Amino acid sequence: MIPAVLTAVVSGITEPLEFTFLFIAPLLFAVHSVLAATMAAVMYTFGVVGNFGGGLLDFLFQNWIPMAKNHSNVMFTQIFIGLIFTVIYFFVFKFLIEKMNLKTPGREEDDVETKLFTKADYKAKKNMEANQNDENDMYMDQAIIILEALGGKDNIEELNNCATRLRVSVKDEKLLQPDSVFKQAGAHGVLKQGKAIQVIIGLSVPQVRDRVEELLKK
């Protein structure tokens, strides 16, 4: 998290943080949008103008240093308003995260790895949600999560199933994700013996296997 925050502050590249909002807690992104727009309006009202679309480096070299001699009051006004909204952001987000128990980075279950999400992750999530509306693909969302938890299709060596379990041989067991990720897909458990993996799914395992095989062919 610290490198992502420093990157956002210094260079203005905020996508990893914002797409994490969208992926984990869309409400936070909506609140962020309202607060950001309000802050921009307040600054404009107090006469703060300039190119503030970047990070600290842009602020310094495009605004603060050139304006320091004749318009220092604008610079200090921007900093003052920014600090006020920093406090507002903190308490609003803290209240919402704790009140709604949002699983933001650092608040996940013990065996879930902290991760910042990308635009590709967000699109994949939306595709999964779209698949849930299609009765013919009711098992596709399970297959997508399970395949990702197994390290992706390039990590699959062999795939078959028994009555209730998906039996998989993987190329690199280090690429496997925590058991909690499999359980998000509805799995009842995971048995691991080196590169031999058994995902306990239940009587719907043939349908899930079919969807996994479809994904492997793409």
Catalytic residue list contains 143 = no
- In the set 120, 162, 163, 203, the catalytic residue is 162
165 and 201 Cβ atoms separated by less than 8 Å: yes
**DSSP 8-state code for residue 60:** I
Sign, CA dihedral 14-16-131-33, equals: negative
Cα–Cα distances (Å) from 176 to 84, 122, 179, 191, in that order, read: 44, 21, 9, 12
Q: Which residues contact 120 (CB under 8 A, 6 or more apart)?
A: none
Query: Distance between CA 2 and CA 106 in Å, rounded?
Result: 12
Q: Which positions are annotated as active-site residues? A: 162
